[in-house]
Amino acid sequence: MRFTKDHEWVTLEGDVATVGITAYAAEQLGDVVFVEVPEAGKAVKAGDNLAVVESVKAASDIYAPVTGEVIEGNTGLGDAPETVNDQPEKAGWFAKIKIADQAEYEALMDRAAYEDFLQSL
Amino acid sequence: MSDANLKTTPLNAAHIAAGARMVPFAGYSMPVQYKDGVMKEHLWTRENAGLFDVSHMGQARLRGVSPLSAFEEVTPGDFIGLKPGKQRYSVLLNKKGGIIDDLMAARPDDDGLFVVVNGACKDNDFKIIDDELAGQVRIDRLEDRALLALQGPKAAAVLADHAPEAATMVFMDARSITAFGTDAIISRTGYTGEDGYEISIPASEAERVWNTLLADDRVKPIGLGARDSLRLEAGLPLYGHDVDETVSPVEADLAFAVSKKRREARDFPGAARISKELAEGASRKRVGLTVLEGAPAREGAEIADEAGNVVGVITSGGFSPSLGKPIAMGFVPPALAVAGTKLKVIVRGKPQSAEVTAMPFVPHRYVRKI
């Protein structure tokens, strides 16, 4: 699993990256009440808006950590947005992206580097 | 997180010790939430008692020869008719009938008029009152006092343990009494729609009183996040968002703040516009909206009619923890302001179904009789 400074996590199986937000991010957001996930077929560049997650108080953009084509959004979050709080790094994933360049994934932080980053906040 | 330019309330250390997330608000570092988070804090307040630090708000005494009649020069309220021990909601008006701020003014004792205004507006408000009423009365700011709000169905039972007299008060009563062993100004009011009190105490006593109340199992500290979602459910406007200097009391659905006596006398700032709007209706009206599908519609989202024409804008909105769905307030033309009217709210470019809904969204539980 790799991580971004925007508190997203990414796992890679073959050329398919699964993206979600970290437990830290989910805790910071508070109770998630609505999630908007991308539809399959959407092309995204690293840094583009990928999804929107809403708490009682605010809407937060989730950015694509890698470039590629969305092959699936986690539509199950529509009826169960609280999954993002309950299982942020598992069932609470947002989208699967078929990536173009594996080097983008490799360049992200590993867990040790992300933990160091959290300590620095 | 820490900003040297931000002021702090007398309860700053207590908030940090309680695990609050502090954010800048109205020039102060304020707790937006504690460890439980907005959702749980909101629901706790609806079921038990929530304790809020609102010491950023502006407290003052209006003192002088005739503070009640003087205050009528800057507001549309009947303050000459305000009885001792009572409090009134009012608005500070500009010459065009726009709302400079909304406020509470009370006669808790014989010491002039006790006024509480919004924190973000207080410097401007008090300067305007001082300037407009110069020579008659003066504003004495009570910078050495903290303000707490205790809100929820268990608030009265909790406070009765420390201030038995508070239990004899009804909604919009205000009294200067000894409570918690100090001089307190207590009013039975609040900003959540629940029964509850606002408690003004000397800043030096604030932390002790705060901790005394929190020692009660029925009480938890509640941040500004839940304060906002609670007042939204209660249909209460938030100054600077739902109301500003361009908005009249009629447009804001606050016409109740324009008293009968003053309507007849037409002797308040902006009376020409407000009288006309009272007679003929305003061109826009603040309404409640229930969002029937999709994401919460927040401040700035456009409101459209069913044909897709933009007819208004959301001024505050979010997710209602009590109702489990998104709700909002916004302005629409009066023809569309009728409860049940189907509209659209545009969120991130997508139209979503919404319906005009009578406010409050969650019934008020004020104690008007005991």
Residue with tokens 């709210």: B345
pLDDT tens sequence for chain A (121 residues): 999 999 999 999 999 999 999 999 999 999 999 999 999 999 999 999 999 999 998 999 999 999 999 999 999 999 999 999 999 999 999 999 999 899 999 999 999 999 999 999 9
SS3 of B195-259: the string is: CEEEEEEEHHHHHHHHHHHHCCCCEEECCHHHHHHHHHHCCCCCECCCECCCCCCCCCCCHHHCC
Q: Above 60 in pLDDT, residue B90?
A: yes
Q: Is the peptide bond before B360 cis (omega within 30 degrees of 0)?
A: yes
Give me the percent of chain A exceeding a pLDDT of 90: 98
> The complex's ipTM?
0.90
- Report the residue from A36, A52, A57 with minimal CB separation from B318: A57
Residue B206, both tokens: 């604030």
Let me know how many helices (H) and strands (E) chain B has, helices first: 9, 19
| Residue type at A49 in one-letter notation | N
Q: What is the mean pLDDT of chain B?
A: 97
Q: Which of B183, B59, B56 is nearest to B109 (CA)?
A: B183
Report yes or no: B32 and B99 within 8 Å, Cβ to Cβ.
no
Contact list in A for residue B33 (CB cut-off 8 A) is: 30
CB contacts < 8 A (A, B):
46
| Cβ-defined contact of A57 to B229 (cutoff 8 Å) | yes
Reply yes or no on domain A2-101 having CATH 1.10.1660.10. no
Which residue on chain A is closest to B42 by alpha carbon? A56
Cα separation, B188 vs B173, whole angstroms = 6
- Within 13 Å and on the Cβ side, how many CA atoms surround B293? 8
Contact list in B for residue A30 (CB cut-off 8 A) is: 33, 37-39, 225
Q: Above 60 in pLDDT, residue B1?
A: no
- Report the residue from B33, B294, B298 with minimal CB separation from A30: B33
Residues B199-226: tens digit of each pLDDT: 999 999 999 999 999 999 999 999 999 9
For chain B, which domains are there? 12-54+144-233 (3.30.1360.120), 284-357 (2.40.30.110)
- Report the residue from A52, A56, A59 with minimal CB separation from B321: A56
Residue with tokens 């996930």: A37
Contact list in A for residue B319 (CB cut-off 8 A) is: 33-34, 54-56
pLDDT at A28: 92
Residues B262-305: tens digit of each pLDDT: 999 999 999 999 999 999 999 999 999 999 999 999 999 999 99
Cα separation, B34 vs B40, whole angstroms = 10
Which residue on chain B is closest to A30 by alpha carbon? B37
pLDDT level of residue B4 (50, 70, 90 thresholds): confident
| Cβ-defined contact of B229 to A56 (cutoff 8 Å) | yes
Question: How many other β-carbons are positioned within 10 Å of the β-carbon of residue B187?
Answer: 26
Contact list in A for residue B40 (CB cut-off 8 A) is: 31
Domain assignments of chain A as residue spans, ordered by start: 2-101
A78 touches chain B (CB under 8 A): no
Question: How many other β-carbons are positioned within 10 Å of the β-carbon of residue A16?
Answer: 14
- β-pair type (B49-53, B219-221): parallel
Task: Write down the H helix ranges in chain B.
Answer: 12-17, 38-47, 67-71, 122-132, 155-160, 206-214, 224-233, 260-265, 271-280
